[in-house]
Amino acid sequence: MNVLIQPPVSRFSVSSCRRPFRPSLRQCAISVRSSFSLPFPEQKARYYEHLKAAVDVVERACHLCVDVQKSLLSSDEKITKKIDKTPVTVADFGVQALVSLELCKQFPSIPLVAEEDSAFVRENNLVDAVVEVVTDRLATTDKELNDEDVLKAIDRGGKDAYEFGPEPATYWILDPIDGTRGFVRGKEALYVVGLALVVEGEIVLGVMGCPNWLYDTEIQGDENSTSSSGMIMISHIGCGTWQTRLWKQGIGDAKKVDNWTKCLVDRFNQINEARFCIQDSQKWESLPLSSQFTAVTQTNCVGEKQIRLLPTCCGSLCKYLMVASGRASVYILLAKTKRTIKVWDHASGVICIHEAGGKVTDWSGSPLDFAVDEGERRVLFPFGGVLATNDSIHEQVLDIMSSAG
């Protein structure tokens, strides 16, 4: 069952990725050596090999992040800020290079849309550090990587790499670290490596790795928990959403388990029973629901005109994890006029919630349009913002927001 790729016009190429013909998705694949088995048979999943590759590289990217984080706080040279004042680290660039190199090797005709580019690495003297962390986590190497190999791999996902055009396209979407603010705080905060595949305009699979996920606690953010075994969540169109531990005993333990659990959203059908999470940079009072409901953070005694607001965690993908795993009922994001909404902050989370039985739309109830940015496929323009829910209360929330607006 082959799907032909319509390759975009390339403004950047890696010589090892060039092919003179248009291979199908199946024809692109070479051997994949994921350390995880998948929870469903290959016959049920059209993009099985792509998902195996994505799981493998996200797992290794999480290891890379943990390795960097261990030494991060002792070296200010590895933490700096981009033009928009958001933090960025060696791990951000290392993950992007790692994922780019491995996916290019296995699926050379599928382009990559990702957050970073190499200019920042060059300007801030991070080249040697990035090359080192990438080399440590590559599955195999045909030759020793040099600086330019790694820098070109980063730029393969940059905004100047491809010109897509208006037609439906096939491409990977990567957020190397969603929640870098949490990453630099240390092991108690959440961050996510997110990877999704879009085929002819439709998100067909998503993988999210969260090394600091507290797997055994009821609500994320319990400071007394010591069972931080990490989590990897996967989703494939028509096959559901699943999660398992990244490590059996905890971060750094090489013994992994493949005990996949199917993810289902919660079934709260009343707004005052639901559990909400919002962007850590936003206040409840800025959202339309605040006209009818006040927010409380305690775990008991939620009144009729109150909602339960869960502790914030950095990054959008963490909130998608919360809703898809049933730990939260609703995630609301307000679109700010001075801040663009990027596809990598949402793509892998959207399919995970959909396949877990939830729903993601903008504030008008329309699906998120990942092709609205025709040339680069990097920006979303959701009306009002983004609403991700368990589906049971989606229309109720939309109605309140509409009446308040």
**What CATH topology corresponds to 9-262?**
Fructose-1,6-Bisphosphatase; Chain A, domain 1 (3.30.540)
Closest CA to 311 of 277, 274, 266: 277
Distance CA 397, CA 157 (A): 36
> Could you give phi then psi for residue 360, rounded to 5 degrees?
-130, 125
Q: What is the mean pLDDT of residues 103-108?
A: 95
Residue 345: how many CA atoms within 13 Å on its side-chain side? 19
Distance CA 231, CA 210 (A): 5
Distance CA 13, CA 63 (A): 28
Distances (CA, A) of 84 to 88, 279, 338, 339: 11, 17, 11, 9
Q: In this prediction, what percent of the chain has a pLDDT beyond 90? A: 60
CB 17 within 8 A of CB 157: no
Distance CA 267, CA 135 (A): 45
CB 17 within 8 A of CB 28: no
In this structure, what token pair is assigned to residue 181?
């603010």
Q: Which part of the chain is CATH 3.40.190.80? A: 271-404
Q: Which part of the chain is CATH 3.30.540.10? A: 9-262
Distance CA 64, CA 81 (A): 20
In this structure, what token pair is assigned to residue 109?
């005709």
In this structure, what token pair is assigned to residue 56?
């493998």
The reported pTM is 0.87
Q: In this prediction, what percent of the chain has a pLDDT beyond 70? A: 78
Distance CA 291, CA 305 (A): 10
Pick the catalytic residue: 56, 67, 92, 345?
A: 92
Q: How confident is the model at residue 82 (pLDDT cuts 50, 70, 90)?
A: low
| Residue type at 324 in one-letter notation | A
Distances (CA, A) of 126 to 130, 136, 184, 188, 241: 6, 16, 17, 26, 37
Q: What is the mean pLDDT of residues 285-307?
A: 84
Among 29-38, 98-107, 389-398, the range scoring the smallest mean pLDDT is: 29-38
Classify 384 in phi/psi space as left (phi over 0), alpha (psi -120 to 50) or beta: left
Distance CA 22, CA 20 (A): 7
pLDDT in tens, 198-235: 999 999 999 999 998 876 543 444 444 444 579 999 99
Among 51-60, 74-83, 214-223, 274-283, the range scoring the smallest mean pLDDT is: 214-223
Among 83-87, 156-160, 178-182, 243-247, the range scoring the smallest mean pLDDT is: 83-87
Query: Which pLDDT value is given to residue 347?
Result: 98
Query: Which pLDDT value is given to residue 284?
Result: 93
Pick the catalytic residue: 180, 241, 244, 389?
A: 180
Query: Which pLDDT value is given to residue 36?
Result: 81
Q: If you average pLDDT over every residue of the chain, what do you get?
A: 83
Q: What is the mean pLDDT of residues 304-318?
A: 87
Query: Which pLDDT value is given to residue 378?
Result: 97
CB 301 within 8 A of CB 272: no
Distance CA 140, CA 138 (A): 6
Query: Which pLDDT value is given to residue 89?
Result: 84
Angle, alpha carbons 281-321-84 (nearest 5°): 35
Residue 196: how many CA atoms within 13 Å on its side-chain side? 27
| Residue type at 31 in one-letter notation | S
Q: How confident is the model at residue 330 (pLDDT cuts 50, 70, 90)?
A: very high
Distances (CA, A) of 38 to 26, 57, 253: 18, 14, 20
CB 206 within 8 A of CB 352: yes
In angstroms and rounded to an integer, the radius of gyration of the C-alpha atoms of the chain is 20
Is the pLDDT at 400 greater than 80? The verdict is yes
Distance CA 26, CA 37 (A): 19
Quick one: angle between helices 127-137 and 48-72, nearest 10?
Answer: 130
Which residues are CB-neighbours of 340 under 8 A, at least 6 positions away? 379
**What CATH topology corresponds to 271-404?**
D-Maltodextrin-Binding Protein; domain 2 (3.40.190)
> Could you give phi then psi for residue 295, rounded to 5 degrees?
-105, 135
389 has catalytic annotation: no
Is the pLDDT at 29 greater than 90? The verdict is no
Classify 158 in phi/psi space as left (phi over 0), alpha (psi -120 to 50) or beta: beta
In this structure, what token pair is assigned to residue 116?
């970073």
Q: How many residues does the chain have?
A: 405
312 has catalytic annotation: no
pLDDT in tens, 123-137: 988 899 999 999 888
